[in-house]
Amino acid sequence: MNKKENYAFCLQCGKQGAPLFEGLCAECYQKSLHELKIKNIPTITICTTCGALRLPSSGWTRPLKYEEIIMELQLIAQTFIDVPPTAMTNAELVEEIDFSEARPRAKFLVTVEDQPISQFPIIKQSAEVSIPMDKGICDTCSNIKNQVYKSTLQLRADRRKLTQKEEDMVVNIIQTIVREATREAHESYLLQIKEVRGGLDFFFSDRYIATLAAQAVLHKLGGSFKETFKLVGEEKDGTKKYKNTIVIRLPLLQVGDWIILNDQPHLVIKKDRLGIITREKGVGKAKRYEWGKVKEINPINSQIVSKDVLIVSKMSDSFLVMDNNNYETFEIRIKDLPIQAEEGMSVKLGYFEDHVFFMDFLKEETL
């Protein structure tokens, strides 16, 4: 008895012995296909300031370059066309988009390739998809234009002005944080950097990015952190709106400061979020002190009297040196100068109360 499948035939043309899909052979199945159906495509808005697109499903994108805009529109062109679940689609731009027009259009040729069963050849169909566009401004660019900010980061130093090096370092840290954050969230931005007396103010779009920036600065430079909030209004649904201010106060001490520790002068050679590293008399073994132990210590830089001297000779445990101004000679212990010190070198010594210590080597003057 013959099996049932031996009697299979194409329902359209009657062909027997050919692979069938939904009762049709490959030729009849292809003839039965209707033209590709294009759904109603909504108008896509492009931000004229940054190139962001307002997409139907997800709202505004991040800022986009021309090539990235084309890629996003290609996906849209493929999304708004009905295709079988087994099909693969591809979209190619028909002509360059003229963004100088009041209402530009993006035209794509969408190609659909389908092979419902492996025994069928690949069936190709194509259709032109035109995406209407209009121009506008995204929420982020609108906020920047209107000087909208929700969070302020104030950078100050304890009992002194910020140094130029500190300002440059913090600006670089914060700009790096902002670049990384805006890759993930276009709505995050740094609105402005403002110089104020003794410090800098940074104005951010939101508390999240301001907090990230503050944490990065504290990690690098140390210091104290204080945050306050101010009620500025209510949303339409009654939710209260606040602005926050973060104050970072960098430590008083900085690299190059001289301080008195354990009744001896110490040179600050490094600082970080944990504390400072010093050398006793500028030449001793490096030692760390936590901020809690040195936060009340004041630098003595302005009280130091310096003296330029010439190393005349080396004795058993001291150097004989001569004052370059009055030519008086005196001794200084070998351990109070760097190991590089040799006869004939000129050095700068510091005097504070009854302490004498090494400050720097002097370069030979060029004749």
Would residue 10 count as lying in a domain? no
CA distance 258 to 304: 9
Residues 80 and 58 in one domain: yes
pLDDT digits (tens, 9 = 90+) for 179-200: 888 877 778 899 999 999 889 9
Statement to judge: residues 292 and 308 lie in one domain: no
Please tell me whether residues 328 and 344 are part of one structural domain: yes
Q: What are phi and psi of 322, to 5 degrees?
A: -125, 130
- Token output for 90: 């591809």
The pTM of this model reads 0.72
Answer yes or no: are the C-beta atoms of 335 and 285 closer than 8 Å.
no
Q: What is the pLDDT of residue 364?
A: 63
Number of domains forming the structure of the chain: 4
Can you say whether the dihedral through the CA atoms of 11, 13, 18, 24 is positive or negative?
Answer: negative
Asked if 93 and 183 sit in the same domain, the reply is no
**Are residues 97 and 195 located together in one domain of the fold?**
no
Structure tokens at 356: 């004498």
Q: Which domain covers residue 354, as residue numbers?
A: 304-361
Average pLDDT over residues 148-160: 95
Does residue 2 register a pLDDT over 60? no
pLDDT in tens, 319-332: 999 999 999 999 99
Token digits for 99? 């963004």
